[in-house]
Homo-oligomer: A and B are copies of this chain.
Amino acid sequence: MFSIIAEDKLTRARVGLLKTAHGTAETPFFMPVATKGAVKFVTSEMLKEMQVQALISNAFLLSLNPGVEIIEKVGGLQRFMGFDGVCFTDCGGFQLSRKTFNPEHKEDGLVFKDPFFGGKVHLTPEKIMEIQIRLGSDVAMGLDDMPNYKEPRQRYIDSLTRTHQWMEQCKKAHDQLKKKYNSTQLLFGITQGGTLADLRKESCEFMKKLDFDGFAIGGLGMGEPSEERLETVKVATDILPSGKPRYLMGIGSPLDLLESIAMGADIFDSAFPTANARHSTMFTSKGVLHLKNAEFKDDPNPLDENCSCFVCQNYSRAYLRFLSKTHDPVNYIYKSYHNLYFLSDLLQKARQAIKKGLFTEFLEAFRKVYARK
């Protein structure tokens, strides 16, 4: 299911192969988010073009709309979305922590407001496992309780207790459901504990005793400083088994990805690249480019002269800035495509650098031109 094919000597970076029911993805990789069954403004043909290996959807939201039955009838999540690669599904811990869902903790799970049709939905670890198995994703995530950044310590302690209990229930239910549905779906556990080293450590120690197919470092990407986050990743990768993939959830800025890879993280997801793109904050090999700046209004150059994506091959900064200013819908397509392509390309180069034993040089060179965001 996971095998490491190259390891960096100076950092914790490694290249691995994650084998799933719908193909093998080479780590480290970044997953665009298709929360509600599609990546905003990016077609699945485009994802293929930019060699995106995997994406992640929200199982809970999809179970409410369009519902598991419809996705089953069409032939499962990959077929439904027209995406050939590896599909992860999340329980929706991140989305559900938002106030619009009005979450209430119950003894056996959570009660939420249905954002599509109103009314209340009762979610348990067992239910969300069955939803994910039936959706047919390649990798399911356990149910976690995710605090926001800088909540009181007691909130993190409570989240740990709850998350650990739910993860045990998820593992047990998933083992049974795999037999029932004859599924080869993988299951990842999620560690919590915010950036509090002792709690994160406790969570990783607890989780590694459960035989998950991979482990996530959850609850980050919530506004904490990068240094604090990297320290937490280090705490986690000290403990989590090196032979299993490590998924750092919610991180998507180029430099953060490379530095997390150096700390031993393998898998990433975030809406950051596409959300930034929609706001005209573009990733380039020379650093971040703010396309709205007046200096680009008649600039005939591409977003990034070193980028081989179709946007950089065909369009000038002047054109893209003009389309952004007039809010033409295609501007969101072009900008989202470029930022996702940039990350896909960056991680491919990172994998090559690790394989060649040149990752530190690669990271250093990138740090010089790319300020952290």
Partner of A40 from B43, B300, B318, B328 at Cβ < 8 Å: B328
Partner of A330 from B41, B300, B318 at Cβ < 8 Å: B41
Instruction: Please determine whether A70 and B329 come into contact, CB atoms closer than 8 angstroms.
Output: no
Is A314 positioned at the interface, with any CB of B under 8 Å from its CB? yes
Is A316 positioned at the interface, with any CB of B under 8 Å from its CB? yes
Interface stretch, picked from A166-174, A198-206, A222-230, A319-327, is A319-327
Instruction: Please determine whether B74 and A330 come into contact, CB atoms closer than 8 angstroms.
Output: no
Is A358 positioned at the interface, with any CB of B under 8 Å from its CB? no
Q: How long is the Cα–Cα vector from A331 to B43 in the complex, in angstroms?
A: 9
Instruction: Please determine whether B80 and A319 come into contact, CB atoms closer than 8 angstroms.
Output: yes
Instruction: Please determine whether B43 and A333 come into contact, CB atoms closer than 8 angstroms.
Output: yes
Interface stretch, picked from A31-39, A135-143, A180-188, A363-371, is A31-39
Is A42 positioned at the interface, with any CB of B under 8 Å from its CB? yes
- State whether A319 and B37 are in contact (beta carbons under 8 Å apart), knowing that A43-B333, A330-B42, A330-B43 are contacts in the complex: yes
Most interface-central of A81, A316, A333 (chain B CB within 10 A):
A333
CB neighbours of A333 from chain B (8 A) = 41, 43, 333
Instruction: Please determine whether B322 and A65 come into contact, CB atoms closer than 8 angstroms.
Output: yes
A42-94 contacts to B, CB under 8 A, are 42-45, 65-66, 69-70, 73-75, 79-82
Is A334 positioned at the interface, with any CB of B under 8 Å from its CB? yes
| Per-position 1/0 for A100-128, Cβ under 8 A of B | 00000000000000001000000000000
A1 smallest CB distance to B (angstroms): 28
Tally of chain A residues near chain B (CB < 8 A): 42
Residues of chain A at the chain B interface (Cβ within 8 Å)? 36-45, 65-66, 69-70, 73-75, 79-82, 116, 297-298, 300, 310, 314-316, 318-319, 322-323, 325-326, 328-334
26 interchain pairs, CB-CB under 8 A: A37-B328, A38-B328, A38-B330, A38-B331, A40-B328, A40-B329, A40-B330, A41-B329, A41-B333, A42-B330, A43-B310, A43-B330, A45-B310, A45-B314, A65-B322, A70-B298, A73-B298, A74-B298, A74-B316, A75-B300, A80-B318, A82-B315, A82-B319, A116-B326, A329-B329, A329-B332
